[in-house]
A and B are shown apart, each in its own frame.
Chain A
């Protein structure tokens, strides 16, 4: 589904990603861990197509397409979803309006007709239940006045609405209390299917108690320095990253 080969990228002439290789197949869950500033969010942004980041080398194939040739919206329509570490507030733009346009763009890509208003509203209600999103929130402006937890739930709600092939969730667990974490994590689990894939970027093992990864990768200074199975996350939780970093250097 996703094939990243030797990906390098710069921000303001500073090399942040220094040769990433990663392969993700349908049905898999990958966790990317690593200390702060190692490039996890950068990797997510580059995959989403954020224009702030300049790809200097490498190749990314997504569903047989050359991802780096596609615009941000083309990638999204093709089924790549990024759950933002810091979801953006858009004053005056209602959740319903925003989601309606987004869902219909995705449907258009899939060759489906736009949803009728009633079907759309029904879908909003159904998908809102997955993350126990307060129905009042969907009538408000996008993320405006949402609490930290509500914003993160809202990301997963949007993921449910758009039904992506590949979801990259950037620190969706950070800033959540135990209850919100459980809701968000079980939401993600419910959305997991054999024909889609998820990359969870996280600091903590606790998210992985719910979302069991098939692979755990450690990103450090712009490279994946170690890949393992879910036991790796437990070991990292107990012992930190130092042993790995020492071993790498």
Chain B
């Protein structure tokens, strides 16, 4: 008998429960059992699940015999990949932080391995861990929480203004085998602090490209934004075609906090990116700018949920997609406004460009509003490059390809040009330009 994916993962967990829990507190470990059961009960999300209806995860999980390593594996050296420069930096390979020691700055900022943080940092790490992630409704999150062994951690104390961004660099690689792994990030921002974080998800760009196996990353991120804190995150996923990234990002924002996220997916594989934000304190503001650029048979599914739980918050999401070749993109948006969340100001837009007849884009923005005095709007557009604009540019002497490129650049520019710092913008723009040239 073939075991189901769920059964295989459950068996894997049971067989390795000691090694998974090694070094963690009894309390944390005792919860893993609940998580793996929650996962097993809900199963891999399939098309019946409204939030995942547009992406077929079961097929992905079923497509291979995914191996899982419980210890860090050495990844090959980066092959000429330049990274944006950064003073503060965390490197995570297949979910394991490359440094076990935490970095502690004079101003109280702590960053580094999540595993170490959960052992040493009770107030900042342990008290916040798994308070924002949805381990009940989201089975992949529960699965991640059961298997979590390490990841990245950032803590910015109350009132601290972090002078430079912290870069979290995730690499996923498999060697010759097909590997599944779990990545985890916990970002804790104290009241009134100001901070920027850059996150990069990249593949194993080393040698032996052809005989590499596939990598499936189940990555969960929790972000706790304290009262009046101002946080800016920029994220890029850019990996080769053998990588599949399932990302679940959870943000919880307190009163008068501000959180802005820029996320760009250029990866050649498939990506499922889910962003959930809970606005739990009044006058909190949440901004999300998303972009994916895909060609060939690449795929990206973006899910955005914003929960307005209290009055007077503001949320804004602009997600842009470009699909050419036989690529597929989808957007599932949901803005929830609770009954007493009066004076909510919510805006959600999905804008898309289809560059070829074989490409597909699906969009499903939704509003669910229980308060009566709110300002909410949402919408979706799917269009093509503007032939008139291309003609206009060509009439000025600009070649057809260049005109196309300029127009695509114009379409994506507002997402990539406002990310958290200039050098990162330049780096991201260069990557996006490179991708545009291929689609």
Which residues of the other chain, A, contact B407 by a CB distance below 8 angstroms? 90, 92-93
Which residues of the other chain, B, contact A81 by a CB distance below 8 angstroms? 395
Which residues of the other chain, A, contact B160 by a CB distance below 8 angstroms? none
Asked whether B398 lies within 8 Å of A92 as measured between CB atoms, the reply is no
Contact with B along A138-150 (1 / 0, CB 8 A): 0001100000000
In the complex, whether A240 has a CB less than 8 A from a CB of chain B is no
Choose one: B389, B394, B412; the contact of A90 (CB below 8 Å). Answer: B389
Which residues of the other chain, B, contact A106 by a CB distance below 8 angstroms? 397
CA A109 to CA B399, docked complex, whole Å: 12
Which residues of the other chain, A, contact B397 by a CB distance below 8 angstroms? 73, 76-77, 102, 105-106, 109, 162
Contact with B along A48-86 (1 / 0, CB 8 A): 111100000000000000000001110011000110100
CA A141 to CA B395, docked complex, whole Å: 17
In the complex, whether B25 has a CB less than 8 A from a CB of chain A is no
Which residues of B (375-420) have their CB < 8 Å from a CB of A?
386, 388-389, 391-400, 402, 406-407, 409-414
Asked whether A92 lies within 8 Å of B395 as measured between CB atoms, the reply is no
Choose one: B392, B393, B394, B411; the contact of A92 (CB below 8 Å). Answer: B411
Secondary structure call for the B interface: helix
In the complex, whether A158 has a CB less than 8 A from a CB of chain B is yes
Which residues of the other chain, A, contact B412 by a CB distance below 8 angstroms? 92
Asked whether B399 lies within 8 Å of A90 as measured between CB atoms, the reply is no
CA A81 to CA B394, docked complex, whole Å: 11
Asked whether A73 lies within 8 Å of B406 as measured between CB atoms, the reply is no
Min C-beta distance of A71 to chain B, whole Å: 8
Known A-B contacts: A76-B397, A92-B411, A102-B393. Give 6 more (CB < 8 A). A76-B394, A76-B395, A88-B391, A92-B414, A98-B393, A109-B397
19 residue pairs bridging A and B, Cβ less than 8 Å apart? A50-B391, A73-B397, A76-B394, A76-B397, A82-B395, A87-B392, A89-B389, A90-B386, A90-B407, A90-B410, A91-B411, A92-B414, A93-B407, A98-B396, A102-B393, A105-B396, A105-B397, A105-B399, A109-B397
Residues of B within 8 A of A (CB): 386, 388-389, 391-400, 402, 406-407, 409-414
Residues of A within 8 A of B (CB): 48-51, 71-73, 76-77, 81-82, 84, 87-93, 97-99, 101-102, 105-106, 109, 141-142, 158, 162
